[in-house]
Structure 1
Amino acid sequence: MYAETREILGALCQILLLLMICQTVPAQQKNIAEEQESELVVNVIVEGLNDDEEKNALIYLELEKNKHNPDLNELWLKRLHSRAPENIKHSLRPFGYYQVTVESRLEQDSTGVWQASYQVKPGQRVKVKKVDVQISGGGANDSQILAAVKKFPIKENDFLDHELYETEKTNLLSVIGNLGYSDVKTEKKRLLIDPLENSAELTLYIDTGEKYYLGQFRFHQNTLQVDLVNRYLVDVEPGDPFSQKSLLAIQQSLVSSGYFSVVDIKPEYKETKDQHVPIDITLTPAKRHKLSFGIGYDTEIDLNASMRWQNRLLNSYGHNTDALLKVSDKKSSLRGTYWIPINDPRTDKIGFTAKFETEETDDTDRNTLNLEAAWVFKWRDWDSKLFT
């Protein structure tokens, strides 16, 4: 009797569970369908602007940013639409438009898609009425700075362009800094705009500070002869204007030599004397040996394998060597070259090469040994090579 009761209760539980599942699935499907129906589809159209202006307007438009947001509902859509004219007006100010009018319209078509359209009239563009750029400090009479100021591209009666103004202001400060005035700063910068008059006044006062120069180069290394290291620095030397650009030139020249893996440049500002800043240069040598492998195919010798070994530093004079071994069924070779940097070591060097080659085909069986010397140099803008 007890067992029969348990079986009956178990069957009832299964029936109830099935009924609950049947009730739940349609409800879930209904909720999903309702959610899908509630997702809004919105098209945003901006008319009356050129490509750059339209692109910027879409970036500023909050509605454009949120039109694919799954939480967007009709109330939020209308709120974003009401803010759109102000968004567009702000987007056009960088181009010099301060009298913008926007006609906006929000409609839902027969398919349920919302169309948000904005007809824009930019109005008259603001013109620059006055440009006042003044230089003070140690570079007030520097001819290169005065020439840069003269070339400042924003002139009176030009249309106002905020992006151009910011770019050229930064460029002018960069030019002054690269001439050795590392403490350059703006004393006064102001862009005064009168929307009613469609005019703007630009004020830029720059204090250059004192001019500094590269002092002694103090190398910390035991890899190369100091004379050879200096020959890699033909584009920059003590006495040149001190700037981040000149420090970067030192670093790039030494890294490109291939002898150093790390080039640490440290200006010693506390030791500055007569506006000359000593430069500590710590050089970490690169790995001397490099081994590489390759597999290739040539129509003459079929499949071939290669191995190349390089010793990038044989001695403190920068001599280096490399060897290349190529192996295939028909043709194999071993070539070794010894290089000596001379004059400008970046472009000039002398090389001695020995190459042994063996070839064995149906109609050829030969072994050859070639010896040659080469002088590699730069003449004007040409990379040249002479063989013997």
Structure 2
Amino acid sequence: MDVISVALAGRSYDVTIERGLLNSFDAHARPFLEPYSSSNRKVPFVADTNTHKIFEQAIAKSLSSAGLEADWFVVEPGEGAKSWAILEKLTDWLLNLGVTRSDHVFALGGGVVGDLTGFACAIAKRGCGFVQIPTTLLAQVDSSVGGKTAINTKAGKNLIGAFHQPAAVFIDPMVLDTLPDREMRAGYAEVIKYGLLGDAAFFAWLEANGTDVVAREPTALTHAIGTSIRAKARIVAEDERETTGVRALLNLGHTFGHALEAETGFSDRLLHGEAVAIGMALAGHYSVRRGQMSGADAARAAKLIAESGLPADMGSLGITCSGEKLVDHMRHDKKMESGTLPFLLLKGIGQAYLARDVKMDDIAAFLDQELRSS
């Protein structure tokens, strides 16, 4: 078992990583389950239909040993669940259950379920507790840790939300055995991100061992998850609400990636991790354009992405729009300030930095060039 602390003033919590954890979930989560046991209430779980079908019996068996039952709020898979309509239904459900500010709601699923549940808990009764049980690699290494919660709107992705830290995160790498290969690769993009943004040694380790991680080899997978979470925990502890620019490093690949997601309709045509993968490759190429990263390092980054089975350029998407159209999507980014948008760029492998002097017309010209060459 590996326990990683996310050290925040007055709100620190642990991330527990253990193979087979879900089978003894009641023992790990006992402090958060006790209020339900003492009041003879069911335990509220939020999941999507896929996760509910796969893990309902394991949760039921674990809770039954503690004399408890689960009550489920189940949503359809995909970004469509992060909507005003579903948020309203979820908060009404929590209030009808009589959830109190000292209770904890359990989010069992990927990033969509975690984001939706966390935001609902942030606003229900002005804030109740929640526990993350991420079941995708992307959620395990990224969205379950750090307290960013949100829903999507017509204006863009994750534009309505709150910082609301979980009380605990429980990670069982074995649940990834049920994950489709494409989703596994999409989550791996976020693992690559940690090496690329600030850990050259980890990036080199991934070059040697990444295929084992994607293949779910237990030792390599657990090491990659733990290393990624430690990296995120350090950054979140230093800049919880993204006010100093340190936490912004976690957005490497996301500004380009979100524009591509918007252009493809936030659909299964391009998964979030796939968009981040292309976005990281683009960040490398644009850094070369600015004379700040060597072409060799940018090629290394693109090679690791491509060899992982992830898209490393826009050619595979069949996008026919202009660079200016993609820049228009970027103008809706929540990080946009006074007509400028900070970009995460690179000086080398493991050397990300926040650039505030990027001209959007230059980004449009760069993207036109990339679209022509891909």
TM-score, length-scaled by structure 1: 0.20
> Rg bigger for which structure?
1
TM-score, length-normalised on structure 2? Answer: 0.20
Give the structure with the larger strand fraction: 1
Query: Whose helix fraction is larger, Structure 1's or Structure 2's?
Result: 2
Which structure has more relative contact order (CA 8 Å, sep 6+)? It is 2
